[in-house]
Amino acid sequence: MNASNIFTSHANVADTQTDEISTEIKETLTLLKQFYDVSIVKFIDFREVYSKQLITCNDKESVENELLSYQKRCTQEKLYLFEDTFFDDVSNNTHKLIRFYAQYPIYSVTNKLIGVVLMADLAPKTLIGSQKDQFISFAQLLQTQLNKNSDSVSNQSTKPAKKNYGEKYIHVFSLAPVAFLIALVLCSFTALLLYTIEKKELQSNYNQQTQQLRKTLFNALERFDNQGLYISQKDLVIAGFLQSQNNHTKEQLNNLVQSQVSQNLTYKGYVVFDSEYNQLALWSKNNFDLAAYGFTNWLEKFNKRANKQAVEVFTVADTAFLISEIKIKQGSIYTLTAFDLSKFLKAVIGKLNTENYNVFIATPQFTLGKKGEVNPSIIKNSISALSSRFPPTWRLHVQPMNKIVRPQITKYSLIRLGLISFCVFAFVYYFLRLPRRLHSEIKQKNQLILNREELFSSSLDALPHGFAIFNSHEFPVITNNAFNLLFAQVNKQNSQLSYSQLISIAQQHNIINHYHEHHKLDDDRNQLIDIGFTDGKWITVLQRHTDFNGFVCYFRDDTEAHQKECLLADVLEKSKQTNQLKEKFVTRLSRQLKTPLSSLKSLVEISKDPISFNEFKNNVGNISDACDQLESVIQQLVNINKSEIGKLKLQAKNVNLNQMINNNMSILAKEVENKRIVLKNNITPELTVASDEKLISQLVIQLVTEVLDSSNNTTLSINAQIKNESKRNYLHLDFSLSNLIDSSNFITELKSISGDDITRFIDDKDVSLELKFFISIFKMLGGKAITVCSNANKSTISLSMLVNIATKQGKDNEQEVPSSSLTNNDLVKASLVTNKHQNTLLLVDDDPLVEIVIRAMLKNENIKIDYARSAIEAMLMVSQNSYDIILMDIVMPELSGTDAMLKIKKHSDNLKTKIIAHTSTPDTGSKYVNQGFDDMLLKPVKQGVLINQITRILKDKSL
């Protein structure tokens, strides 16, 4: 081979490697484009060898110009992974198409920058932490593909070519004579081995069949002898009877004989004779005649037989006669048993496993089978044996239904062995004759495939989220480790499952408790799916259908985001319930206002005409009652607002319960008119206690209103009494009514806590807001227990609360008691304590150490501090609370502080909240003020600077 051929060969190999790497780069870019669903992906090779780009948009020329501008900007500022939102000046001025851009560098094995991989889109996007890691994984995959060629080139240039000593052996074995001999030896060895194995298998099968035949014969012979023994046992019973009885009648012997043989279906007759040929006993079937078989002179023939034995058997047709001589002390007796041979044979083989065998009894007179008498010639290929209970001329034969053939190799087996040997010869000869070049080419091609497959698998396994490609039958073709771990419980006992089977089994075993498919996107080729796992994990699946009728699934772990969405939804639902409660209170109070307003209007009409002094005094009393009713209703609105901000306090004074209940009934009069409800006040006029009249009135009105909503055509009676328990005075208010309907959610929840200690009631317990507000007022009044009892048509609701016995002080001598100081102790007298207004600050930072530092700096200031560890949590807290100052970190995961500030200012209704940028990046405050912040503090902040800044902002805020 000359030098030019060598050079050409190396050039061809290099071109082949370049084409393969180009193909791999294109496939990786295609996968990257599909994974992120972007319009543009591009690899820029600074060596201008492997540059590739995939762009799907109308104006490609403008897009390429914008890509070049972005790439230059990144190179100048040494940025390798960014989004276009950081470059508003570039995007807003000259670039109008690309709204998202990201790139990452590619290095050679010598750590030299050789190119960049980038992706862009025409719509704005945001890469969170895990998506950035995935993008880096794709870049590393490209880097590995590019450096593979560099490794091979460097190895060829640095390492001297080693001679492959194995090539000469391959050359020798590929020679035709050597290959022929090796193939012939292997062929002969294979044929001999197969022949030996088959012969041993046939011999083993023959031995097994022969052994089974013998076993069947022995079993049949054992049954045969047992049947004969059974026939002779009755003779022993007869002999025993004769020896034991000195005197017996013929009738007794006949009965004994009949009891011994009549139950056996094979017997036809049975006779007992003595030596004088006298018949001692006889039993026979109706159609059986012993004389008909020619046995009139049988005893003489029996005595004259040449080979005398104790038992002889004679056969006539299918009937066998068994003659036995039994010696007793009085002499000898003889028995003759006639039985059906066919039934006898069936009794022998009845319980044997003779499915594959026939059983015969052969006698000198005939041969008997299961179906009757047969020709002796048909029992060929059988084995036989003599019985110890019957004459030696009788033999028992067992014949296999399928003839047992001695082992021998058939022509078919020889032909089959010949074909197998020929195939072995042809394969070995063909393999040894393969040229050396073909061996190297096969090895090289296989190695490239294996390397490429391993590289692709390792890159997919580096992705933090699940990834799987399914074929047209929904079976997985390629999966990564994240996907396998996600469905490890399902795949533990099932090796290969389709996508539908995977989801179905996971739902059956309660691994998945939520599965929802959204409407398809992009011309029915893409689809979003939500999957909720029982362990709390939440997965969002993007399913994209491909051109080969399969589909690709990206299983994204959105557990944290889903939990925050659920938390936000729960908060919104609670807020909605709060608004509904307020609306319900307003509606109820508007109805309650109608009664005093109607009274006032009537008094105004009456006052237009001249009236006497007495009439004027009466009207003044009515006006006073109407004013008290108005004050009670308005006070409910005031108390609702005060209880929400924690400023509701008790005003202890003497309360006449009878007068207060009458006033409440007047307020509720309009509500009971259309329901035919009668209100009765059974409280004694002199019952007076020291407590907060307005709160007790509100408690009664709320409870009665809820009860009236669940009643119709009933009577409500209110009773009250003072009980002394453990040296304390408790007021017991009892509300008794009939026909109470449990449709009200309030009454149902009130029953659920009936009998409980109200002091242990948990505020965040899962009950309605109406009940929580009712319990809060009840606890402020010193409430101890609520009891609900129902029997027949009557229901009673009892309220027990701590009170003082009324003093003799005047009506206007009132004292305010803070709600926070009221416990289960006696109601105390206290002055009104007014708290100074406390400012509120929300600290937003993902570093818990910052919270500790800020709280320590502001511990002596009158500032309430709340802490949020993420921007999303901060947005949630702002939607539920009002803050004077928000101290916002800038760099946080998922959502930056700048974006959070813009969203808070856009959606918050509190325009006085001041948001301060809290960052460690040294910069002028004007940058953050231009972005929308009210001020900026540089980390780490000093205590004096922090306090002065907050004081100045609060001062400006109050002006």
- As a whole number, mean pLDDT of residues 532-552 equals 87
- Report whether 803 contacts 817 (CB < 8 A): no
What pLDDT score was predicted for residue 835? Answer: 37
- Report whether 518 contacts 530 (CB < 8 A): yes
- Report whether 137 contacts 462 (CB < 8 A): yes
What pLDDT score was predicted for residue 779? Answer: 80
As assigned by CATH, the class of the 205-400 domain is alpha beta
- Report whether 725 contacts 824 (CB < 8 A): no
Query: In percent, how much of the chain has pLDDT > 90?
Result: 4
* Most confidently predicted of 154-168, 347-361, 920-934: 920-934
pLDDT band at 530 (very low <50, low <70, confident <90, very high): very high
CATH superfamily, domain at 839-958: Response regulator (3.40.50.2300)
**What are the two backbone dihedrals, phi and then psi, of residue 736, each rounded to the nearest 5 degrees?**
-115, 135
Quick one: fold of 609-821? Heat Shock Protein 90 (3.30.565)
**What are the two backbone dihedrals, phi and then psi, of residue 837, each rounded to the nearest 5 degrees?**
-60, 130
User: Is 50 exceeded by the pLDDT of residue 833?
Assistant: no
Instruction: Output the average pLDDT for the chain.
Output: 75
Q: Give the separation between CA 628 and CA 693, rounded to whole angstroms.
A: 11
CATH 3.30.450.40 residue ranges for the chain: 18-148
- Which of the two residues, 632 and 836, has the higher pLDDT score? 632
Rounded to the nearest 10 degrees, how much is the dihedral formed by the CA atoms of 60, 63, 68, 69? 150
Q: Give the separation between CA 531 and CA 542, rounded to whole angstroms.
A: 11
pLDDT band at 704 (very low <50, low <70, confident <90, very high): confident
User: Measured between alpha carbons, how far is residue 258 from residues 252, 319, 562, 572 in Å?
Assistant: 10, 19, 93, 99
Pairing status of strand 885-889 against strand 839-844? parallel
Pairing status of strand 935-938 against strand 512-517? unpaired
- As a whole number, mean pLDDT of residues 625-648 equals 58
Neighbouring-strand partners of residue 397:
360, 384
CATH superfamily, domain at 18-148: GAF domain (3.30.450.40)
- Which of the two residues, 440 and 15, has the higher pLDDT score? 15
Interval 325-336: pLDDT, tens: 777 777 778 788
For the residues of 215-266, what is the DSSP string, one character each?
HHHHHHHHHHHHHHHHHHHHHHHHHHHHHH-SS--HHHHHHHHHHHHTT-TT
What pLDDT score was predicted for residue 6? Answer: 42
> Which of 385-394, 618-627, 923-932 shows the lowest mean pLDDT across its residues?
618-627
- Which of the two residues, 391 and 521, has the higher pLDDT score? 391
- Report whether 54 contacts 37 (CB < 8 A): no
CATH 3.30.450.30 residue ranges for the chain: 205-400
**What are the two backbone dihedrals, phi and then psi, of residue 885, each rounded to the nearest 5 degrees?**
-135, 140
Interval 919-956: pLDDT, tens: 887 776 678 888 889 888 988 888 888 999 898 888 87
pLDDT band at 831 (very low <50, low <70, confident <90, very high): very low
pLDDT band at 305 (very low <50, low <70, confident <90, very high): low
Nearby residues of 41 by Cβ (< 8 Å), 6 or more positions away: 29, 32, 33, 53, 54, 117, 118, 119
User: Is 70 exceeded by the pLDDT of residue 141?
Assistant: yes
Query: In percent, how much of the chain has pLDDT > 70?
Result: 71
- Which of the two residues, 274 and 493, has the higher pLDDT score? 274
User: What tokens does 781 get?
Assistant: 């009044």
Q: Which of 119, 124, 38, 118 is nearest to 84 (CA)?
A: 124
What pLDDT score was predicted for residue 353? Answer: 66
Interval 187-237: pLDDT, tens: 888 888 888 888 888 888 888 888 888 888 888 877 777 777 777 777 778
User: Measured between alpha carbons, how far is residue 193 from residues 188, 428, 432, 760 in Å?
Assistant: 8, 17, 22, 88
3-state secondary structure (DSSP) of residue 733: strand
- Express the helix, strand and coil content of the chain in percent, nearest 5 each: 50, 25, 30
- As a whole number, mean pLDDT of residues 179-194 equals 87
Nearby residues of 255 by Cβ (< 8 Å), 6 or more positions away: none
What pLDDT score was predicted for residue 826? Answer: 38
pLDDT band at 531 (very low <50, low <70, confident <90, very high): very high
How many beta carbons lie within 10 A of that of residue 611, not counting itself?
A: 13
CATH 3.40.50.2300 residue ranges for the chain: 839-958
Query: Kindly report the CA angle at 121 between 115 and 124, in degrees rounded to 5?
Result: 125
Q: At which residue do the structure tokens 């081979």 appear?
A: 1
Query: Kindly report the CA angle at 232 between 227 and 237, in degrees rounded to 5?
Result: 130
pLDDT band at 539 (very low <50, low <70, confident <90, very high): very high
- Which of the two residues, 534 and 663, has the higher pLDDT score? 534
Q: Give the separation between CA 491 and CA 558, rounded to whole angstroms.
A: 23
User: Measured between alpha carbons, how far is residue 394 from residues 218, 226, 349, 362, 561 in Å?
Assistant: 16, 15, 17, 6, 95
User: Is 60 exceeded by the pLDDT of residue 758?
Assistant: yes
Q: At which residue do the structure tokens 């969203």 appear?
A: 903
End-to-end CA distance of the chain: 98
* Most confidently predicted of 170-174, 343-347, 487-491: 487-491
User: Is 50 exceeded by the pLDDT of residue 162?
Assistant: no
- Which of the two residues, 348 and 395, has the higher pLDDT score? 395
Interval 428-461: pLDDT, tens: 887 777 665 566 666 666 665 666 666 667 767 7
User: What tokens does 191 get?
Assistant: 């044929």
Interval 776-790: pLDDT, tens: 778 877 788 888 887
Which sign, positive or negative, has the C-alpha torsion 327, 328, 331, 332? negative
What pLDDT score was predicted for residue 649? Answer: 56
What pLDDT score was predicted for residue 821? Answer: 36
User: Is 80 exceeded by the pLDDT of residue 582?
Assistant: no
User: What tokens does 151 get?
Assistant: 């490794």
CATH 3.30.565.10 residue ranges for the chain: 609-821
